[in-house]
Amino acid sequence: MPACTKLDAARDIAAQFDLPFPVASLAPWGTGHINDTFLLIAADGARFVMQRLNPTVFLHGILVMENIERVTAHLREKYRARGLDPRRHVLEQVPARAGTLWYEDADGAFWRVYHAVADAHAVIAAPTPQLAYRAARAFGEFIGLLADLSAPTLHETIPHFHDTPARLAQLQQAVAADTARRASHVAPELAFVAQRHADLHSLADLVKAGRLQLRVTHNDTKLDNILFDDHTGDARCVIDLDTVMPGLALHDFGDCVRATARIGAEDEHDPRNVGLNLEVFAQLVHGFRDGTGTLLSPLEQALLPQAAKVITFEQGMRFLADYLNGDTYFKTHRPGHNLQRARAQFALVAALEHHADALATIVQAR
């Protein structure tokens, strides 16, 4: 759907929600790869975030919304028990006039509206070590607050989302199909993957052996999925809950490293510019441990560096598979964009390997 058409649809669908005042303005907002997001401002100046779930990615939008409803209700109770105002720490949805917390349009896409969290902002710039600590602690606390919500009772909103062997199989299928006739362009990348098959199975094998526990996890722990207080700089609210489902705490930590400790952009043109910030990595370790408290097992703590490598590798394979499939999943902004993303991820994998001893020392230091 073209951007202008989506905006027109958003204006019409806004009327389906129980907003307190008429809409004064509505405009595209954010930089997400998957959903369509709009900033909605009501006539009284109140701010809301309106989103259209991507129906190609989330085939069963109702399951996403049911998970969010359960998780946010659980978190609200936790913050109330701490004597804190949940509206400052938990996403609050605006009900649709039909009584649900979502609206399904004629094309089967799900829409929702959130109250904007007051006096808080997302951070897009490269993080300082202090900010990295706060982000990792917030994601760790998120897992901790949901530790007594039974993981198996949540829906798996994207089946096999962080199933790394399954992502390898999807890449292999994309190579075999060669839908966009691009496989001949990626021989070095495919060789890089082939040399590291053992890593791809390492965490999954431990899950099968019963040595790693599934928890309620976020599964998309980028820095801009946290809102920080405008005045104190403290992490206030974890957002983008579409992929909250049963998963590994290690995956959440690893993806936080991938997104936060990386030197260079996720879509860096020249992979030689991609590296690893060891100081930021150390603060991510400290923050995640402080946030999760006593929740992590000794095995989970020892595997923190491996988790960063596995999840970065997995994301690289996802970008590469999407490139081979003709860029059907992630939004792209230029030719070869997904290939650039894949190469940047693989460069970060190489950096994690290069610094393996230093990473182990950081983890063992506490």
Please give the domain boundaries of the chain with CATH numbers for all domains: 3-116 (3.30.200.20), 129-364 (3.90.1200.10)
Q: Residue 237 forms beta bridges with which residues?
A: 227
What's residue 112's pLDDT? 95
What's the pLDDT at 21?
Answer: 83
What is the value of pTM for the model shown?
A: 0.92
Element (H, E) at 25: strand 23-28
Contacts of 262 (CB under 8 A, 6+ apart): 274, 275, 276, 277, 344, 348
Low-confidence ranges of the chain (pLDDT < 70): 1-4, 30-33, 366
Encoded tokens for 138: 């917030």
β-pair type (120-121, 226-229): antiparallel
The closest alpha carbon to 213, from 137, 292, 119, belongs to 292
pLDDT at 203: 96
Tokens 């896409």 belong to: 109
Contacts of 353 (CB under 8 A, 6+ apart): 309
Name the phi and psi angles at 121, rounded to 5: -145, 155
Q: Which tokens in the block code for residue 356?
A: 């393996």
Q: How far is CA 160 from CA 6, 102, 109, 175, 309, in A?
A: 29, 25, 22, 19, 18
Q: For residues 366 and 298, what is the distance between their CA atoms, to the nearest angstrom?
A: 12
Q: How far apart are CA 361 and CA 33, in angstroms?
A: 35
Task: Give Cα 345 to chain centroid, integer Å.
Answer: 15
DSSP conformation class of 300: H
Q: Which helix (H) or strand (E) holds 137?
A: helix 129-145
What pLDDT is attached to residue 29?
Answer: 81
Q: Shortest CA distance to 211 belongs to which of 150, 288, 297, 143?
A: 297
The two tokens of residue 20 are 């307190």
- For residues 269 and 337, what is the distance between their CA atoms, to the nearest angstrom? 9
pLDDT attached to residue 35: 85
In terms of C-beta density within 10 A (0-12 exposed, 13-18 middle, 19 or more buried), how is residue 257 classed? buried
Write the single-letter amino acid at 114.
Y
From CA 364, how far away is CA 182, in angstroms rounded?
Answer: 43
Distance CA(352)–CA(348), nearest Å, equals 6
- Taking CA atoms, 208 is separated from 169, 246, 309, 315, in Å, by 18, 14, 19, 21
Distance CA 92, CA 69 (A): 9
| pLDDT at residue 366 in the model | 67
